[in-house]
Structure 1
Protein backbone atom coordinates (compact mmCIF):
# COMPACT_ATOMS: atom_id res chain seq x y z
CA UNK A 1 0.00 0.00 0.00
CA UNK A 2 1.34 3.42 -0.94
CA UNK A 3 0.02 6.90 -0.22
CA UNK A 4 0.09 9.90 -2.53
CA UNK A 5 -1.06 13.48 -1.89
CA UNK A 6 -2.23 16.23 -4.21
CA UNK A 7 -2.27 19.85 -3.00
CA UNK A 8 -4.74 22.41 -4.30
CA UNK A 9 -5.62 25.96 -3.27
CA UNK A 10 -8.81 28.01 -3.21
CA UNK A 11 -10.10 31.27 -1.78
CA UNK A 12 -13.56 31.48 -0.26
CA UNK A 13 -15.70 33.64 2.01
CA UNK A 14 -17.99 32.46 4.77
CA UNK A 15 -19.42 33.31 8.12
CA UNK A 16 -20.18 31.20 11.13
CA UNK A 17 -23.72 32.02 12.12
CA UNK A 18 -26.82 30.17 13.25
CA UNK A 19 -30.08 31.75 12.13
CA UNK A 20 -31.89 30.20 15.10
CA UNK A 21 -29.66 32.13 17.55
CA UNK A 22 -29.66 35.82 18.34
CA UNK A 23 -27.01 38.11 16.87
CA UNK A 24 -25.55 38.48 20.36
CA UNK A 25 -25.28 34.72 20.93
CA UNK A 26 -23.64 34.24 17.52
CA UNK A 27 -21.13 37.00 18.23
CA UNK A 28 -20.44 35.60 21.69
CA UNK A 29 -19.66 32.15 20.34
CA UNK A 30 -18.18 32.87 16.89
CA UNK A 31 -16.70 36.35 17.46
CA UNK A 32 -15.45 38.05 14.31
CA UNK A 33 -16.29 34.93 12.31
CA UNK A 34 -19.98 35.88 12.68
CA UNK A 35 -19.39 39.17 10.84
CA UNK A 36 -22.54 40.04 8.89
CA UNK A 37 -20.35 41.13 5.96
CA UNK A 38 -18.51 37.79 5.82
CA UNK A 39 -14.78 37.11 5.90
CA UNK A 40 -12.48 35.03 3.76
CA UNK A 41 -9.62 32.56 3.82
CA UNK A 42 -6.94 31.33 1.47
CA UNK A 43 -7.42 27.58 1.90
CA UNK A 44 -4.89 24.87 1.13
CA UNK A 45 -6.37 21.45 0.46
CA UNK A 46 -4.36 18.22 0.65
CA UNK A 47 -6.05 15.12 -0.75
CA UNK A 48 -4.27 11.89 0.15
CA UNK A 49 -5.15 8.64 -1.56
CA UNK A 50 -3.86 5.15 -1.02
CA UNK A 51 -3.72 1.94 -2.94
CA UNK A 52 -1.56 -0.57 -4.67
CA UNK A 53 0.65 0.37 -7.57
CA UNK A 54 -0.64 -0.72 -10.95
CA UNK A 55 2.20 -2.82 -12.42
CA UNK A 56 1.43 -1.58 -15.95
CA UNK A 57 1.52 2.16 -15.17
CA UNK A 58 3.56 2.39 -11.98
CA UNK A 59 0.77 4.58 -10.54
CA UNK A 60 -1.77 4.26 -7.77
CA UNK A 61 -3.76 6.77 -9.79
CA UNK A 62 -2.81 9.00 -12.69
CA UNK A 63 -2.10 12.35 -10.99
CA UNK A 64 -3.63 14.26 -13.89
CA UNK A 65 -6.86 12.34 -13.32
CA UNK A 66 -6.68 13.06 -9.59
CA UNK A 67 -6.11 16.75 -10.31
CA UNK A 68 -9.11 16.85 -12.65
CA UNK A 69 -11.33 15.06 -10.11
CA UNK A 70 -10.42 17.59 -7.42
CA UNK A 71 -10.80 20.60 -9.72
CA UNK A 72 -14.17 19.62 -11.19
CA UNK A 73 -15.80 18.33 -8.00
CA UNK A 74 -14.33 20.70 -5.40
CA UNK A 75 -12.14 23.62 -6.46
CA UNK A 76 -14.36 24.88 -9.29
CA UNK A 77 -17.29 24.88 -6.86
CA UNK A 78 -15.43 26.61 -3.98
CA UNK A 79 -12.88 29.01 -5.43
CA UNK A 80 -13.87 32.68 -5.10
CA UNK A 81 -17.28 31.69 -3.75
CA UNK A 82 -19.27 32.27 -0.61
CA UNK A 83 -19.47 28.92 1.18
CA UNK A 84 -22.77 29.82 2.83
CA UNK A 85 -24.54 31.05 -0.31
CA UNK A 86 -22.89 29.73 -3.48
CA UNK A 87 -21.80 26.15 -2.85
CA UNK A 88 -24.41 23.46 -3.50
CA UNK A 89 -22.88 20.86 -1.19
CA UNK A 90 -22.67 23.35 1.71
CA UNK A 91 -26.31 24.52 1.58
CA UNK A 92 -27.87 24.43 5.04
CA UNK A 93 -24.63 23.43 6.75
CA UNK A 94 -22.38 25.33 9.15
CA UNK A 95 -19.49 26.61 7.04
CA UNK A 96 -16.79 25.62 9.52
CA UNK A 97 -13.54 24.12 8.30
CA UNK A 98 -14.46 20.86 9.98
CA UNK A 99 -17.77 20.54 8.12
CA UNK A 100 -16.17 21.71 4.88
CA UNK A 101 -13.53 18.96 5.09
CA UNK A 102 -16.22 16.29 5.54
CA UNK A 103 -18.23 17.65 2.62
CA UNK A 104 -15.14 17.74 0.39
CA UNK A 105 -14.57 14.07 1.25
CA UNK A 106 -18.12 13.27 0.14
CA UNK A 107 -17.51 15.03 -3.18
CA UNK A 108 -14.36 13.03 -3.93
CA UNK A 109 -14.66 9.56 -2.45
CA UNK A 110 -16.66 7.80 -5.18
CA UNK A 111 -14.69 9.40 -8.02
CA UNK A 112 -11.41 8.20 -6.56
CA UNK A 113 -12.79 4.73 -5.84
CA UNK A 114 -13.93 4.50 -9.47
CA UNK A 115 -10.24 4.84 -10.47
CA UNK A 116 -9.24 1.89 -8.25
CA UNK A 117 -7.77 3.96 -5.40
CA UNK A 118 -9.05 4.79 -1.93
CA UNK A 119 -9.41 8.23 -0.36
CA UNK A 120 -7.26 8.22 2.78
CA UNK A 121 -7.56 11.76 4.13
CA UNK A 122 -8.53 15.34 3.58
CA UNK A 123 -6.32 17.95 5.19
CA UNK A 124 -7.70 21.45 4.94
CA UNK A 125 -5.71 24.50 6.05
CA UNK A 126 -7.87 27.51 6.85
CA UNK A 127 -4.84 29.55 7.91
CA UNK A 128 -1.14 28.83 8.24
CA UNK A 129 -1.82 27.93 11.89
CA UNK A 130 -5.19 26.16 11.69
CA UNK A 131 -6.08 23.01 9.81
CA UNK A 132 -8.30 19.97 10.11
CA UNK A 133 -7.78 16.39 8.98
CA UNK A 134 -10.56 14.00 8.12
CA UNK A 135 -10.14 10.27 7.54
CA UNK A 136 -13.74 9.33 6.74
CA UNK A 137 -16.33 7.80 9.03
Structure 2
Protein backbone atom coordinates (compact mmCIF):
# COMPACT_ATOMS: atom_id res chain seq x y z
CA UNK A 1 0.00 0.00 0.00
CA UNK A 2 1.43 3.35 -1.08
CA UNK A 3 0.23 6.64 0.37
CA UNK A 4 1.11 10.16 -0.74
CA UNK A 5 1.31 13.14 1.59
CA UNK A 6 1.34 16.72 0.32
CA UNK A 7 2.44 19.50 2.65
CA UNK A 8 1.82 23.14 1.66
CA UNK A 9 4.20 26.00 2.48
CA UNK A 10 3.94 29.73 1.82
CA UNK A 11 6.68 32.16 0.93
CA UNK A 12 6.89 35.68 -0.43
CA UNK A 13 9.70 36.63 -2.75
CA UNK A 14 10.77 39.10 -5.40
CA UNK A 15 12.27 38.13 -8.73
CA UNK A 16 12.81 39.33 -12.24
CA UNK A 17 12.81 37.19 -15.33
CA UNK A 18 15.78 37.55 -17.60
CA UNK A 19 18.40 35.55 -19.40
CA UNK A 20 21.86 37.08 -18.82
CA UNK A 21 22.85 36.05 -22.35
CA UNK A 22 20.20 38.39 -23.79
CA UNK A 23 20.07 42.17 -23.97
CA UNK A 24 17.77 44.23 -21.76
CA UNK A 25 15.60 44.87 -24.82
CA UNK A 26 15.42 41.17 -25.76
CA UNK A 27 14.53 40.21 -22.18
CA UNK A 28 11.80 42.87 -22.13
CA UNK A 29 10.40 41.55 -25.41
CA UNK A 30 10.53 37.95 -24.19
CA UNK A 31 9.29 38.33 -20.61
CA UNK A 32 7.22 41.52 -20.82
CA UNK A 33 6.34 43.07 -17.46
CA UNK A 34 7.97 40.12 -15.69
CA UNK A 35 11.39 41.34 -16.88
CA UNK A 36 11.12 44.01 -14.19
CA UNK A 37 11.48 43.35 -10.48
CA UNK A 38 8.19 42.17 -9.01
CA UNK A 39 7.00 39.80 -6.33
CA UNK A 40 4.64 36.95 -5.61
CA UNK A 41 3.07 35.28 -2.63
CA UNK A 42 3.95 31.73 -3.60
CA UNK A 43 2.74 28.39 -2.35
CA UNK A 44 5.10 25.45 -2.43
CA UNK A 45 3.57 21.97 -2.32
CA UNK A 46 5.89 19.10 -1.48
CA UNK A 47 4.54 15.59 -2.04
CA UNK A 48 6.20 12.53 -0.56
CA UNK A 49 4.99 8.99 -0.85
CA UNK A 50 5.64 5.46 0.17
CA UNK A 51 4.53 2.72 2.44
CA UNK A 52 3.45 3.96 5.88
CA UNK A 53 5.74 2.88 8.69
CA UNK A 54 4.32 -0.07 10.63
CA UNK A 55 5.09 1.54 13.98
CA UNK A 56 4.16 5.20 13.35
CA UNK A 57 1.61 4.81 10.57
CA UNK A 58 3.30 7.70 8.75
CA UNK A 59 5.08 7.95 5.41
CA UNK A 60 7.29 10.66 6.92
CA UNK A 61 7.13 12.67 10.12
CA UNK A 62 5.72 16.12 9.28
CA UNK A 63 8.17 17.80 11.65
CA UNK A 64 11.08 16.26 9.75
CA UNK A 65 9.63 17.36 6.41
CA UNK A 66 9.00 20.88 7.73
CA UNK A 67 12.57 21.16 9.02
CA UNK A 68 14.04 20.02 5.70
CA UNK A 69 11.91 22.41 3.64
CA UNK A 70 12.66 25.29 6.00
CA UNK A 71 16.41 24.72 6.13
CA UNK A 72 16.98 23.75 2.49
CA UNK A 73 14.63 26.24 0.84
CA UNK A 74 12.53 28.67 2.83
CA UNK A 75 15.41 30.15 4.83
CA UNK A 76 16.99 31.17 1.51
CA UNK A 77 13.93 32.38 -0.40
CA UNK A 78 11.22 33.69 1.93
CA UNK A 79 11.19 37.51 1.84
CA UNK A 80 14.28 37.57 -0.37
CA UNK A 81 15.11 38.11 -4.01
CA UNK A 82 15.08 34.71 -5.69
CA UNK A 83 18.07 35.64 -7.82
CA UNK A 84 20.14 36.08 -4.63
CA UNK A 85 19.32 32.64 -3.21
CA UNK A 86 22.24 30.18 -3.34
CA UNK A 87 19.83 27.34 -4.15
CA UNK A 88 18.86 29.24 -7.32
CA UNK A 89 22.33 30.27 -8.51
CA UNK A 90 22.31 30.52 -12.30
CA UNK A 91 18.58 29.74 -12.56
CA UNK A 92 16.18 31.86 -14.60
CA UNK A 93 13.42 32.05 -12.00
CA UNK A 94 10.42 30.96 -14.05
CA UNK A 95 7.91 28.77 -12.25
CA UNK A 96 9.10 25.77 -14.24
CA UNK A 97 12.70 26.37 -13.23
CA UNK A 98 11.79 26.95 -9.58
CA UNK A 99 10.01 23.60 -9.33
CA UNK A 100 13.02 21.80 -10.83
CA UNK A 101 15.55 23.70 -8.72
CA UNK A 102 13.61 23.07 -5.49
CA UNK A 103 13.52 19.33 -6.23
CA UNK A 104 17.29 18.86 -5.98
CA UNK A 105 17.95 19.95 -2.37
CA UNK A 106 14.78 18.27 -1.14
CA UNK A 107 15.54 14.95 -2.84
CA UNK A 108 19.07 15.05 -1.40
CA UNK A 109 17.80 15.60 2.16
CA UNK A 110 14.82 13.23 2.19
CA UNK A 111 14.97 9.44 2.41
CA UNK A 112 15.82 7.99 -1.01
CA UNK A 113 12.92 7.69 -3.43
CA UNK A 114 10.31 9.29 -1.18
CA UNK A 115 9.95 12.65 -2.98
CA UNK A 116 7.17 12.40 -5.55
CA UNK A 117 6.37 15.94 -6.65
CA UNK A 118 7.29 19.58 -6.11
CA UNK A 119 4.65 22.12 -7.08
CA UNK A 120 5.16 25.88 -7.20
CA UNK A 121 1.96 27.93 -7.20
CA UNK A 122 2.84 31.39 -8.43
CA UNK A 123 -0.65 32.85 -8.92
CA UNK A 124 -4.23 31.62 -8.82
CA UNK A 125 -3.80 30.75 -12.51
CA UNK A 126 -0.20 29.47 -12.63
CA UNK A 127 1.08 26.29 -11.01
CA UNK A 128 4.17 24.33 -12.00
CA UNK A 129 4.78 20.68 -11.11
CA UNK A 130 7.98 18.71 -11.30
CA UNK A 131 8.15 14.96 -10.70
CA UNK A 132 11.86 14.35 -11.09
CA UNK A 133 13.75 12.97 -14.03
CA UNK A 134 11.99 10.24 -15.99
Could you tell me the TM-score, scaled by structure 2's length?
Answer: 0.94
Q: Please state if 1:51 is matched with 2:47.
A: no
> Match for 2:87 among 86, 89, 105?
89
Q: Please state if 1:133 is matched with 2:129.
A: yes
8 A Cα contact 2:73 2:87, kept in partner: no
Distance 1:55 1:20 in 2: 52
Distance 2:21 2:64 in 1: 42
Q: Which residue of 2 aligns with 1:2?
A: 3
- Runs of 4+ that moved beyond 3 A: none
* Structure 2 residues not aligned, in runs of 5+: none
1:1-137 matched pairs, under 5 angstroms: 1-35=2-36, 38-84=37-83, 86-113=84-111, 118-137=114-133
Distance 1:9 1:62 in 2: 19
Distance 1:16 1:94 in 2: 6
Aligned residues: 132
Distance 1:6 1:98 in 2: 19
Could you tell me the TM-score, scaled by structure 1's length?
Answer: 0.92
Q: Structure 1 residue 19: deviation in Å?
A: 2.4
Q: Structure 1 residue 110: deviation in Å?
A: 2.1
Distance 1:23 1:56 in 2: 57
In angstroms, what is the RMSD of aligned CA positions?
1.1
